[in-house]
Structure 1
Amino acid sequence: MALIMLRLALVVVVLVSAGVTRPCQAATLFSAFARALGPQEEAPHTVVHQYEGFEERLYPAKKWACTKQNGSYSTGDQIDVFLRLFGYIGGDNSKGEKLVMGTPVSVECRTEEEHKVYSACFFIPEAAQADPPAPTNPRVVITSRPDTTVFTRKFGGYAQDEDTWNKEAEDLSEVLTEAGKSFTRNLVFWNAYDPPFKFWKRRNEVWLVRQ
């Protein structure tokens, strides 16, 4: 996912050079990328219990800016998805506000019947939680995630493809099953916390929702 963010920056440069992206739109995207490298605000949570090899956390109800992708999540899909979200925090919203970059970048992967639905989300900072600006892009929506208790553990490196996330989810599932924990099987969250230019001590997490 971090490498995807780096590709996004390169895509913006190419689009601007080719005249495909409007100057005002490009400015908001560049602004968003700059904030991704600066101070970031993490979604609040409480550690309910620290187990051997994983932990249980409670995330209170909060608002997130999300965009949905049905059926596939290729590199091209990811670029399109994140450009929408970066545009929103860069000022592509009803108030023209530039928002602090929230973490994690959280992708909800839900299995519905025989296909998957992906919703990529940015956490909306606390200062804007009560009245977040409305997205001007109709494919970006403000979503209220309810109180959610998850099981998770941290892993490093560049989690750059779906196989990496799926493998971590499978491994964590085995750990939880051995520990006798019940969790939702058709829903998993992929979460990345670091900008692409952080090379060491990177933080990624899979969240599995407690039943």
Structure 2
Amino acid sequence: MNRSLCLLALVALLGITMPVYGTLVPDKRPWFCHGLDCPKYKVVETTDAYEVREYKEAVWATTTVETYNYAMASSIGFKRLFDYIGGSNKDEVKIPMTAPVLADVEPSQGPFCKQTFTISFFVPFHFHDAPPSPNNPDITITCTPAFTAYVSESGGFKLDDYSLGKMASALGDALDADGHEYEDDHYYVAGYDPPFRFKDRHTEIWFKAKTDDDSVISGAIAEE
């Protein structure tokens, strides 16, 4: 019987030896992943305003940042995680870049209040069964169970807090109009492009369906 992806990752991180009964083979990647490994999903509904996607379970490297805006949080979180994939891990291995860079955004209570951002890199499929343990204690390897997301898409460079909030509000309005229940106290920003890509840019806003587990960070499976 195949072990679940999350169990395999947990066993590997705890140093327990057990047989591996197969590897996860990625499906055809969406164009906006640009050939990089990215989470598997199935589109179950498409409207003019959003897609409904069913995401499969996945493994992420995750760090939490408390600061005043998305730009600062993404910069701090990206640096931590980029060091991890660059070799700052127990195995001292370089891990390929993936997509998206995912930010879980909890809106602030006011303009002078800090926000909590959870920044995550998707762990490549090759490392899903045994993700290297981070050297940085601020990074956690997490496993998300399968979940449903409502996703809106955008291009361009407008990734400031106002623009992202406006995109999230528009998606929320569309979901409310269609009677969907979703977690409205936070949303995700999925960025697929490096700063030097000037065309065919792709950014997404995700709301999770309310019946699913809470957030990426709720799936923590190991912490050294």
Which interval holds the TM-score relative to the shorter structure?
A: 0.7 to 0.9
Structure 2, unmatched stretches of 5+, are 1-33, 211-224
Identity of aligned residues (%): 29
Give the root-mean-square deviation of aligned CA atoms: 2.0
Q: 2:49 pairs with 53, 59, 72, which one?
A: 53
2:104 matched to which residue of 1? 108
Code of the residue aligned with 1:130 in structure 2: it is D
The 5 A counterparts of 1:79-158 are 79-110=75-106, 116-158=115-157
Greater strand share, structure number: 1
Moved more, 194-203 or 38-47: 38-47
CA distance in 1, matches of 2:87, 2:172: 39
Letter in 2 for 1:160: L
1:99-145 deviation digits (Å, cap 9, x = unpaired): 11111100011369997421000000100011100000111111112
Task: Say which is worse superposed, 70-79 or 52-61, in terms of deviation.
Answer: 70-79
Moved more, 85-94 or 176-185: 176-185
TM-score of the superposed pair, with normalisation by structure 1:
0.76
State which drifts further: 168-177 or 68-77: 68-77
Say which structure is richer in helix.
1
TM-score (norm. length: structure 2): 0.72
C-alpha separation between the residues in 1 aligned to 2:157 and 2:129?
34
Q: Is the 8 A contact 1:152 1:205 kept in 2?
A: yes
**Structure 1: 5+ residue stretches without partners:** 1-37
For residue 182 of structure 1, report the CA deviation from its aligned partner.
1.4
Aligned AA for 1:174? Answer: D
Output the amino acid matched with 1:120: I
Q: Summarize the Cα distance change of 1:176–1:74 in structure 2 as closer, same or farther, 3 Å threshold.
A: closer
How far apart, in 2, do the equivalents of 1:43 and 1:108 lie?
16
CA 1:153 to 1:74, structure 2 compared with 1: closer, same or farther past 3 Å? closer
